[in-house]
Structure 1
Amino acid sequence: MIKLLLWLLLFVLCWPLALLALVLYPLFWLIALPFRLIGITFEGLFALLRAVLMLPARLLGGGPRNSN
């Protein structure tokens, strides 16, 4: 009997949270989207800067060496 009461209590407490999550998740995704795009842009920018800065060393023979 106590298990049934606990299940009913869990149902009463959790279904509003589940509905709230269903409503708020798309809104959170829309708010977070610009920050993701900025992160992707900066990641690409830093990769480009690293490639440009490391180019002279790679042309002069630096970098990882193969043991073949």
Structure 2
Amino acid sequence: MKLFLNLVLWTILFVLCWPIAILLLLLYPIIWLLILPFRLLGFAIDLTFSMIAKIFMLPFQALGK
């Protein structure tokens, strides 16, 4: 569904202003490569906070069983 929505939006952009649509199509891989380290960093931070929360909750889970 997301792919279809992206295709429809890109087609509308192509009809309305084709130079921007072509530029976006050419720059998308470069933008994706620039954003990739930040996404990986966010994933690592999320896992770290999840692990810290599990460590703090471990005694309560052990007492509850």
Normalized against structure 2, the TM-score is what?
A: 0.70
Aligned-residue CA RMSD (Å): 1.9
The structure where helix makes up a greater share of residues is 2
Give the gaps of 5 or more residues in structure 2: 1-13
Higher RCO (CA < 8 A, seq sep 6+): 2
Normalized against structure 1, the TM-score is what?
A: 0.67
Give the gaps of 5 or more residues in structure 1: 1-9, 63-68
Larger radius of gyration: 1
Aligned equivalent of 2:52: 49
Query: For residues 3-47 of structure 1, what are the alpha-carbon distances to aligned partners after superposition, in whole Å with 9 as ceiling and x for unaligned?
Result: xxxxxxx85x61111111011111110110000000110111111
1:21 aligns with one of 11, 24, 35 = 24
Counting aligned pairs with the same residue, the percent is: 46
1:40 aligns with one of 33, 40, 43 = 43
Count of residue pairs brought into register by the alignment? 52
